[in-house]
Amino acid sequence: MIRVGINGYGTIGKRVADAVRAQPGMRVAGVAKRSPDYAAVGADETGYDLYAEDAAPFSAVDITLAGGVEDLVRESDVVVDATPSGVGAENRPLYERHDTPAIFQGGEDATVAEASFNARANFAEASEADYVRVVSCNTTGLSRLLAPIEELAGIEKARVTLVRRGGDPTQTSRGPINDVVPDPVSLPSHHGPDVRTIFPELAIDTIALRVPTTMMHVHAVNVSLAEDADAGEIRDRLAGENRLLLVPGYAGIEGTGGLRDLAGDAGRPRNDVWENAIWEESIAVRDGDLYCLQAIHQESNVVPENVDAIRAIAGEADAAESMATTNEALGIGLERFEGRERAADRQIAD
C-alpha cells in the first residue's frame, strides 16, 4: 500500500484525500491542517488522522491530533502538498529532510519540482522524479484537449481565451463582484507558458478574463491544424478520451450551472466535474482551424491527476494502467450520453 500524506485539507486537499481513499493499493496516512475549522472537523469525522503544528486549538474543540506535520511526512511514502500557493515551495525542504517524494499543485512556480505533470500528456516524466507539480486546472484542461488533437492532426498554433471564475465558493474575499476584468490585460496570460511546461514546442497564445461567478472556467479554443481533419473526425477522437465529456445539444445544458447540476444528479460527490466538459455542438472546423468551447471545474479536475501522479512517482503503473484504475475507482465518465444518437448525427441525417 502506498501511504499518502495530504498536507493541506482545503478545496483540493479534501478531494484528493477522498480520491486516494477510493483507490486500490493506496491509503491516506493522514491530513495536515493549520486550524480546527469546519474542514478539520469533517476530516476528523471522516476518520482521517489529523496532524498540525499547534495542538491547543484542536484540543479546544475535542479533536485529538495524531502528531505534527513532520510526523506525517515521516510516516508517508508520498506527500500531496495541497497548501495555498507559495506555501508548497516553503515546504519542500521539509520533504527533502525525510527523503519523502512530494506532489505540488499548479499554484506553485514550475521550478518547485523536477517535472510538471499531466497524466494524458507526459506521465513518464514523473516516474523519474521525486518532486512533481500537477499543473493548474486550466493547464490540465488544455493539456487533455490538445494532446489528442496533436496526435490526430498536429497543431500549428493554439489560441485560447479563458473566461475564469472570480473565486471558489469558499473564497469570499475574491472577486470581481460586478465586473469583467482582463487577467492580465497584456498578452499572454500565464496559462500559455504553463501549457508549454507540458508541451515545450507548442505554439500557444492565451488571454484571460475574470468574471463574477464561482461555478467553472470556460475556454474558447481555436487551433490551427497542421493536417486536414473535419469536425466529425475531431469529435470522434475527443469522444474516445476518458477525461473529456462531450455534452450533446439534446441534454439542454446551456451553461456551467447545468453541468454542476448534471454532476449532482449523477451522484458525484460535491457535484464535481472531473472531466473537461466540451459542448459537442461547438466543435467546428473552418479553413483548417478547429474551434470549440469547454468548461473546466476548477475545484476538481486536477484530482485524478494527483492520484495518477502518486502512482507515477511511486513507479507503480504506466499511464494507461494508472488512468484506467483511477477512473474506475472514482467513477469517471458520465455514461448517460453514451450509446445515444448524437445531436450532430441527427442533424446530418436530417
Least confident of 20-34, 53-67, 259-273, 334-348: 334-348
The whole-number pLDDT of residue 344 equals 45
32 membership: H or E segment, kind and range: strand 26-32
pLDDT digits (tens, 9 = 90+) for 25-58: 999 999 999 999 999 999 999 999 999 999 999 9
Q: Any bridge partners for residue 244, and if so which? A: 276
Single-letter residue type at 132: V
- At 128 the pLDDT is 87
Summarize the confidence of residues 313-336 as an average pLDDT: 90
Contact of 30 with 7, CB cutoff 8 Å: no
> How big is the CA angle at 243 (ends 238 and 249), to the nearest 5 degrees?
55
Angle between helices 38-46 and 11-21 in degrees, nearest 10: 10
* Strand partners of residue 205: 159
State the amino acid at position 85 in one-letter form.
Answer: S
C-alpha cell recorded at residue 247: 455534452
Cell of 323: 488512468
What are the tens digits of pLDDT across the range 160-212? Answer: 999 999 999 988 888 899 999 999 999 999 999 999 999 999 999 999 999 99
Instruction: State the angle between helix axes of 319-330 and 119-126 in degrees (0 to 180), rounded to the nearest 10.
Output: 120
Model confidence pLDDT, tens digit, residues 124-158: 999 989 999 999 999 999 999 999 999 999 999 99
What average pLDDT does range 244-256 have in this prediction? 96
Nearest to 298 by CA among 179, 161, 170: 170
Residue type, 243: R
Helix (H, G, I), strand (E, B) or coil at 49: coil
Say if residues 55 and 32 touch (Cβ distance below 8 Å).
no
Instruction: Pick 349 or 232 by higher pLDDT.
Output: 232
SS3 145: helix
Residue 192 backbone dihedrals phi, psi, to 5 degrees: -60, -50
Known catalytic residues are: 137
Cα–Cα distance between 35 and 60 in angstroms, integer? 11
Q: What is the pLDDT of residue 336?
A: 54
Burial of 97 (0-12, 13-18, 19+ CB in 10 A): exposed
- pLDDT (tens digit per residue) in 270-287: 999 999 999 999 999 999
Secondary structure class of 331 (helix, strand, coil): coil
Of 57-71, 90-104, 230-244, 334-348, give the lowest mean pLDDT range. 334-348
* Residue 342: band (very low, low, confident or very high) from pLDDT cuts 50, 70, 90: very low
pLDDT above 70 covers a percentage of the chain that reads: 95
Does 110 have pLDDT greater than 80?
yes
When pLDDT is cut at 50, 70 and 90, the band that residue 335 belongs to is low
Cα(283)–Cα(290) distance, integer angstroms:
7
pLDDT score at 340: 54
Q: What is the pTM of this model?
A: 0.94
Residue 130 grid coordinates: 521525486
For residues 319 and 335, give the distance between their C-alpha atoms in angstroms, rounded to a whole number. Answer: 22
pLDDT for 97 beyond 50: yes
